[in-house]
Amino acid sequence: MSVSQPQTVEEIKARNKELIAEVLQVYPEKTAKRRAKHLNVHEAGKSDCGVKSNLKSVPGVMTIRGCAYAGSKGVVWGPIKDMIHISHGPVGCGQYSWAARRNYYIGTTGIDTFVTMQFTSDFQEKDIVFGGDKKLAKIMDEIQELFPLNNGITVQSECPIGLIGDDIEAVSKVKSKEYDGKTIVPVRCEGFRGVSQSLGHHIANDAVRDWVFDKLDPNAPPRFEPSDYDVAIIGDYNIGGDAWSSRILLEEMGLRVIAQWSGDGSLAELEATPKAKLNVLHCYRSMNYISRHMEEKYGIPWCEYNFFGP
């Protein structure tokens, strides 16, 4: 027996309202009241259906969009393949960022590349009460012992870190000195800092500026022989291998790609970027901050580009 489908606009609207009511029934009363603001049926003559959006994520509540932590760890820093990125906080955020994206890379996972591995401090109640600084230091020691070919570490802070005031900068400085100057980057990307992941991009860019670029010795000899055709691909995450294709096209045009980040990127490529003659920017939203900084400090122009489409 076939079920009759709604035919008129009024019937369709009535059906959709019933579906929303059915969805809200499974929530506790307080949560249902809050969620009802995000579900509605469009009314004729109105510009939209009146749902609430562009609000800050609630710490500890999964949302359909990312947070500042997701913007830093999941987008900008996570694809840097030869660094280990610690999700400092409860295990859930690290699990979410670990499973949510595919950033293709070349290397041996667990030996010299670590993109698809999850490293977390797995915060428990006692860590909230007593702090996680000592735990973070211990994790870094374990990383050094278990993965000696890593070229650096980042600390991606989750919401509780900002709420309890863990001094991730102090731990990073101490351990960097202990490991003979290894690059260790503390990133203050607690999820509650931004409405969406966009602020996380900005925070991550600032961390590249402060903890990578500003640590470079301006008098050190370059690691490669510069040319007039050196470019850096900025803001391409190699989701599905697209950065590899773009790189081939640029090099066939006669340019030399000295860095691409962060998809299939490395710490050495980050460090080489201030020597580029031009930055070609793919994802403007996530990397315009660092591109503008390099233009101001190093005189490197930048332009937007992509090879998508016919």
Please tell me which residue in 32, 35, 36, 101 is annotated as part of the active site. 101
Q: Is 101 a catalytic residue?
A: yes
Please tell me which residue in 88, 188, 193, 201 is annotated as part of the active site. 201
Q: Is 201 a catalytic residue?
A: yes
Please tell me which residue in 68, 70, 93, 159 is annotated as part of the active site. 70
Q: What is the Cα–Cα distance from 90 to 126, expressed in whole angstroms?
A: 12
Phi and psi torsions of 186, nearest 5°: -85, 130
Q: What is the Cα–Cα distance from 165 to 162, expressed in whole angstroms?
A: 5
Cα→Cα distances 114→118, 162, 230, 264, Å = 8, 26, 27, 11
Q: What is the Cα–Cα distance from 151 to 267, expressed in whole angstroms?
A: 7
Q: Is 70 a catalytic residue?
A: yes
CB count in 10 Å sphere of residue 243: 26
Q: Is 202 a catalytic residue?
A: no
Q: What is the Cα–Cα distance from 166 to 7, expressed in whole angstroms?
A: 59
Place of tokens 């049926």: 41
Burial environment of residue 227 by CB neighbours within 10 A (0 to 12, 13 to 18, 19 or more) = exposed
Q: Which residues are catalytic?
A: 67, 70, 101, 201
